[in-house]
Amino acid sequence: MNQAAAPKTGEKKRDRALYARLVESYQADRISIFVDFDRLNAPRSPVWSPWENIAPLLIILLGSMALMFFIHLMLGTATMVLGVLFYLFVMRPWIAQRVYRRAIEAATENLHNWNLLWKIGGLVITLNYMNKTRCVAPDGDWRAFVTRYLPEMELEGVEAYNAFKRMERPETEDKEAERLKDLNM
């Protein structure tokens, strides 16, 4: 029984470490996380808001029906047509933006949320320096993606940073020496 529990614990530690590297890379702008709006804006998604999707349509329908019955049929029909256009071109992009924000916040908050959104298939990871290198949920293996691509990027970034600092040091030391000399005079 202990042998069966040990791989799960090790697997969880490995997943947490890979997830931490993934979030760190996202925050450092090494990778991008894209959200599939159609998959995540559905009732089975944890980031779906029913009122965000139903309330605007309900208001458009009830408002146009009220205009149809109480004022004029043509005015109510025109209001419905304009309301549908408003919903398609204003409300849908607004809802998409809100779903995107909620999904990114949830995905980068903890590993459990990440795994839930990954199983639904609403996320895509891409490398910022190679847009064609991507991992698409749920078929892609995000753990293999992180293992394969993100360690190289960290080492490469550290080496480039250190090389830049080595090149910058002589100039800053000379400027610092001049500044101290000016202060002593």
What average pLDDT does this structure show over 47-51?
86
pLDDT tens, 78-116?
Answer: 999 999 999 999 999 999 999 999 999 988 888 888 888
Angstrom CA distances, 9 to 4, 16, 17, 119, stand at 9, 10, 12, 21
pTM: 0.68
- Highest mean pLDDT, choosing among 20-24, 55-59, 120-124, 156-160: 55-59
Percent of the chain predicted with pLDDT > 70: 75
Percent of the chain scoring above 90 in pLDDT: 24
Residue 182 has a pLDDT of: 58
> Which two structure tokens, joined as six digits, stand for 157?
């970034």
Environment class of residue 109 by beta-carbon count within 10 Å: exposed (0-12), middle (13-18) or buried (19+)?
Answer: exposed
CB contact set of 159 (below 8 Å; sequence gap of 6+):
none
